[in-house]
Structure 1
């Protein structure tokens, strides 16, 4: 599979595959729902952490360390 898909679409495809695998393994539907919700929360937290690291606060622009000649 070499198609390029947006990250959100890729996550939906992978989530569906894992949910189907859990169903085939015999997990109860409520358990699958709970695991999927927990995974979604973890992904949201990771995304939030990533956004905070990329935020402009505290980011220094190279060459702009203070007044010229100082």
Structure 2
């Protein structure tokens, strides 16, 4: 799998990683957001959001600013 990390954010015991990945079997590209909560230097909790990269533009359309 090819992984390109786009953003890496950390604040206190929380870390967020935004990446784009190409799956080896199909060549499909996905966008992934992983959220981690650390405790004592170890991962205590983790959450993950996965979406086909082709869906991202449509899902972000609501962010678009109206034309003035």
User: TM-score normalized by structure 1?
Assistant: 0.30
- In proportion to residue count, which structure has more strand? 2
Output the TM-score relative to the length of structure 2: 0.30
If asked which structure has higher relative contact order (CA below 8 Å, sep 6+), I would say 2
